[in-house]
Amino acid sequence: MSKSGNLIVRLEQPPVPAERTRVVDYKIKRIGTVNSILGPVKSPYVSVKPEVAGEGFAGRVLYLLEDN
């Protein structure tokens, strides 16, 4: 969690998502949206603006839900 309240998530698989890509949990429950891309190209992180407050996200696997 950043000081501004955004989640900082390490990407494990390419490609790097576009901004405003939806982020969900394993139940496809919407967690937030990608706010920005951070770090080096080989191991990027994304900043996610959460829509769900008060839940612990540390250590949880989150997924990108891209629109087709």
CB atoms within 10 A of CB 63: 12
pTM: 0.79
pLDDT tens-digit profile of 25-61? 899 999 999 999 998 888 889 999 998 775 677 788 8
CA–CA dist 29, 8 (Å, integer): 18
Whether 68 has a pLDDT exceeding 70, the answer reads no
Going from the N-terminus, what domains does the chain have, and what CATH number goes with each?
7-65 (2.40.10.230)
In the prediction, which pLDDT does 34 show?
A: 93
